[in-house]
Amino acid sequence: MRRLGALLLAVCPAVGGCGAFAASTRRPTAELPAGAALLPARTRRLTNWELERSLAAFTGLDVTIAQELPPDVRQEGYTPNVAQDVSTAWATRYSALVQQLAVKAAARLPGRERCRDLGPDCRARRVVELGEFAFRRPLEAEEQRSLEALVSEAANAGEGFEGAMSELLQTLFESPSFIYVSELGEATAAGTRRLTNDELASELSFMLTGAPPDAELRAAAAQGALDEPAARAQQAWRLLGLSSTRYQFRHFALQWLEVDRLLDTAKSSQLFPTYDALKPYMLAETENYVDEVLVHRGASVQALLAGGFASVGPEMARFYGLKTYGPRASLAGSGRLGVLQQASFLAAHAHEDVTSPVKRGDFVMRKLLCEKVKRPAEIGLEVVMPPPSATLSNRARLSQHIADPGCASCHSTLDAIGFTFESFDAAGAAQTSDHGHAIDTRTQVRLGQQATEVQSLASSEALTRALLENPQIDKVSECFARHAFRYFSAQADPRVEETFVALRAELDESERDNLFRVLVAYVASDLFVLREVKGT
């Protein structure tokens, strides 16, 4: 309970509260425009997945705790954010899980034979070695003293090497310096805070890989090299080159597409008997497609929306009615084009038994056009869903509720976009009829509240093409970058987002749509390095 109590209480309350960070020589980088909003100086609790990756990196064991912890809080749909807290339920569960892990990890500490006597030198070496890895920075003198005392106490109590190391590991795993990532920085003359090299290394690594800094990045931080924009950019490209980095970008893509919880969804077993069996393949298709596009097709929203191929095995190839399967199986003639026509997206944006043009249209508005769609409660509307019908098509049924002027203000756009997807059922399979009526995917719609042109669209393919044409393409591309920034910078402050958008606008047109180039530009900028103190 000693550790648990410390965990609950030790949320760094203010700037400077989480301990010292190594001082380093600094050289100024290009200044941001005057008045540009910065990210706040803060500490952020790592997401469950980031903690899992941290524990795996630390112990070398296969760690699976993310699914066993209470789920992460989401902001704008994304799990990396400053709203993650340490609730009693979370702390209790986490403590129990890392207790077991500490025992296993202590038994497998490399080189433990050299240090079984737990003499003072051994204690100090172990504490520094493990503590610095866990805290991602040098230990403060007081931290080192108390951790050494803990090891001594355990050893004196007859717990032996593994018992003492288990105590030490559990304490480290439950420490705020392990669970939280610090962006508190050091004061600058301009009144802002500047991240230390150790903080920069952590920020860079968690942002791009979802895992703590590796040895090379820690070494660069120790040398103070990360003050240099070029060095940060070089490290960023190095991390992006690692195969394991794909998992972070998959996480982003799945959360952006709102399909990351697909395996938790259910469909009517009478209407969609193969859905449960196919769900893992649907998810795998999206993951593989994202990999293929980001590696080989340029990391752009255009490529994600309109790759023209599927990355599928025989199961999904047959589900889609394709002639081939493989990493780039042609989608020609299938009515599918990219992520918006993938079964995972279509099933996640549908009800258990019937399609949801509203959910599909809502996604396009929010996530591709960055249009604010008011929820019914925000405008004082009580939602009365159109009653089920044995004879009407889903489109005809929903068209009745668009006739209500209160609903029409939003739904005339949402539903019109969503109707283009009606050629795909609630489980993502192609459908040609609905309650005996031929499917009609034709629609007329303004793509965005400021759009002046009413577009006639024949299908979701046509919708996708329209989104990738002028004038929407710039908006869609910027919207995608905004969402990426929310995920990778773990915040959703619109003011800071504008600073990022301005930074992106300075890039060459050819670089602006490439997610990797935009992120590296962000890493090399002062926006990545500087923080503002709340209230100043």
Partner 1 sequence: MPKTLLNGSLAALLILVACQKTEGQPSVFGGEGAKVADEKPLPEGAGKPEALGPCGKPGPVSDAALIDDFEDGNDRIFKAFERDGFWFSASDKTEGSTITPLAPFAAELLPAAEASKENRYAAHLTAAGEKNWGVVWGAALQWTREGIKCPLNVSAFAGVRFRAKGPGTIRVSMAVPEVTPKEGGGTCADRCYDAHGKVFLLSSAWDTYEMRWEKMQQGGWGTEARFTPERVVNLAVNVDVKSLPADLWLDDVELIPKTAPAQAAAPAAAAP
CB of 11 to partner 1, least distance (A): 30
**Where in 331-390 is the site for partner 1 (CB under 8 A)?**
337
Among 462, 501, 507, 533, binds partner 1 (CB under 8 A): 462
Report if residue 297 touches partner 1, rule: CB under 8 A.
Answer: yes
CB atoms within 10 A of CB 83: 14
Q: Site map for partner 1, 147-166, x if CB under 8 A?
A: -------------x-xx---
> Which range, of 174-182, 398-406, 440-448, 462-470, touches partner 1 by CB under 8 A?
462-470
* HSE-up of residue 259 (Cα within 13 Å, Cβ side): 27
**Is position 25 an interface residue for partner 1 (rule: CB under 8 A)?**
no
- Other CB atoms within a 10 A radius of the CB of residue 475 amount to 19
Instruction: Kindly tell me which of 25 and 470 has the beta carbon lying closer to partner 1.
Output: 470
Cβ closer to partner 1: 114 or 495? 114
Choice between 9 and 263, CB closer to partner 1: 263
| β 186-187/193-194 pair status | antiparallel
The DSSP call for residue 490 is: T
Residues near partner 1 (CB under 8 A), total: 75
Closest distance between partner 1 and the C-beta of residue 228, in Å? 18
Where does this chain touch partner 1 (CB under 8 A) — which range of 28-36, 38-46, 100-108, 350-358?
100-108
Task: Work out how close the CB of 476 gets to partner 1 at its nearest, in angstroms, rounded to a whole number.
Answer: 11
The residue count for the chain: 536
> Could you say whether residue 325 binds partner 1 (CB under 8 A)?
yes
Q: Residue 179, interface with partner 1 (CB under 8 A)? A: no
> Using CB under 8 A, which residues numbered 469 to 498 contact partner 1?
469-470, 473
Contact 268, 427 (CB under 8 A): no
Of 12-20, 361-369, 497-505, 511-519, the window that binds partner 1 (rule: CB under 8 A) is: 511-519
Is residue 133 near partner 1 by the rule CB under 8 A?
A: no
Q: Is 329 in the site for partner 1 (CB under 8 A)?
A: yes
354: number of Cβ within 10 Å: 17
Distances (CA, A) of 91 to 12, 70, 112, 464, 493: 16, 9, 30, 44, 28
196 contacts 15 by C-beta, under 8 angstroms = no
Q: How far is the CB of 210 from partner 1 (least distance, A)?
A: 13
Distance CA 68, CA 90 (A): 10
Interface of this chain with partner 1, residues 60 to 89, rule: CB under 8 A: 61-64
Which of 6, 107, 157, 190 binds partner 1 (CB under 8 A)? It is 107
What letter represents residue 525's amino acid? Answer: S
Of residues 403, 437, 432, 402, the one with CA closest to residue 418: 402
Q: Alpha-carbon distance 52 to 73, whole Å?
A: 16
* In the complex, least distance from residue 433 CB atom to partner 1, rounded to whole angstroms: 20
- Which region, judged by CB under 8 A, interacts with partner 1, from 4-12, 358-366, 396-404, 507-515? 507-515
Q: Is 167 in the site for partner 1 (CB under 8 A)?
A: no
C-alpha torsion sign, points 488, 494, 496, 497: positive
Residues in 33-62 at the binding interface with partner 1, rule: CB under 8 A? 61-62
Site map (CB under 8 A) of partner 1, residues 258-287, x = contact: -----xx--------xx--xx-xx------
β pairing state of 433-434 and 180-183: unpaired
What is the rounded (10 degree) CA torsion for 358, 364, 367, 369?
-130
Q: Among 94, 178, 252, 319, which residue interacts with partner 1 (rule: CB under 8 A)?
A: 319
Separation CA 469–CA 176 (nearest Å): 48
CA 484 to chain centre: 8
Given 322, 350, 445, 527, the residue binding partner 1 (CB under 8 A): 322
**Distance, CA of 202 to CA of 371 (rounded, Å):** 33
Cβ 349 vs Cβ 265: under 8 Å: no
